[in-house]
Structure 1
Amino acid sequence: MQRLMIADSSDIVRTVAKRILTELDFLVVEATSGREAMMRCQAEIPSILIVDAALDGALDLIAGVRGLPQGKAVRIYYCVIEADLKKMMQGKRAGADDFLLKPFDRKILSSVFANLPKVA
């Protein structure tokens, strides 16, 4: 089972995403802040990290995870509300692999995550 972390300050977003992603056979861990997410990543690195662009320290979190010993292997999704090219480029420069548009639902999360290789 792959470990996936959701770093988002919204309880509702984390709860909905966790429910959907758990059904897709991910072990989902939550973080409410960039600092908490970084501490959790230092303790146990996830395979996948979803970072909300509105999270305090989101870009620092992405760059920090990339700087960890196994950080290059983490697939990082930068979650934005709209296709804002400037914000997306900032996320890419910090080290994000891909983007998710919010609000997301079961259909979107399933299409993105259901076919990922299940390497632990």
Structure 2
Amino acid sequence: MPRTVLLAEDDRAIRHALERALTLEGYRVTAVADGVEALAQAHRGRPDVLVLDVMMPGIDGLQVCRELRAEGDATPILMLTALVETADRIAGLDAGADDYVVKPFDVEEVFARLRALLRRTDRTDPAERAEAGADDRAAA
């Protein structure tokens, strides 16, 4: 069964190119253009991995990441952004992202980072990971 990717990117050209590349690589992709839709799709679709742009309309990628983590969602998150400063990378990782790639990027590097994130992920489905996170918080 193909792995599912939720791609949230407001730049239409980047979104379409990356969606096509991920699809050709064998992923099942849901692509959205803003943070509000990204959060809704993350709740609805329970993807295996998220690729989030930081600067998006509605809710930015950092807030999407924070909200998912606050809910106990442990789905791997790769931030994909034009923000290149060390402080920006730290902010993304501190918001709960698992990895951070700066634009412009090489699509092969994105593929490699997604494979690495998925290797480190428990083989349970995202709903079970989210439920386990909720159980962990309740026990604390």
Question: Is the TM value for this pair above 0.5?
Answer: yes
SS in 1 for 2:104: coil
C-alpha spacing 1:91/1:48, structure 2 compared with 1 (3 Å): same
Residue aligned with 1:89, SS: helix
**1:8-87 map, 5 Å:** 8-56=9-57, 57-68=60-71, 71-72=73-74, 74-87=75-88
Aligned partner letter, 2:110: L
Q: Which has the larger radius of gyration?
A: 2
In the TM superposition, structure 1's runs of 4+ consecutive aligned residues that sit over 6 Å from their partners are none
CA contact (8 A) 2:78 2:114 kept: no
Whole-Å Cα distance in 2 between the matches of residues 58 and 88 of structure 1?
12
Which piece of structure 1 moves more, 106-115 or 82-91?
Answer: 106-115
Q: Which runs of 5+ in 2 are unaligned?
A: 126-140
Structure with more relative contact order (C-alpha pairs < 8 Å, separation 6 or more)? 1
Richer in helix (by share): 2
Deviates more, 1:21-30 or 1:104-113: 104-113
RMSD in angstroms over aligned alpha carbons?
A: 2.0
Structure richer in strand, relative to its length: 1
User: Aligned residue pairs: how many?
Assistant: 118
Deviation of the 1:37 alpha carbon: 0.5
What is the identity percentage for the equivalent residue pairs of Structure 1 and Structure 2? 22
Q: Does 1:110 align with 2:108?
A: no
Unaligned runs of 5+ in 1: none
CA deviations 1:66-102 (Å, max 9, x no partner) are: 2335x11x11011122531111111111100001121
**What is the alpha-carbon distance in structure 2 between the residues aligned to residue 103 and residue 8 of structure 1?**
13
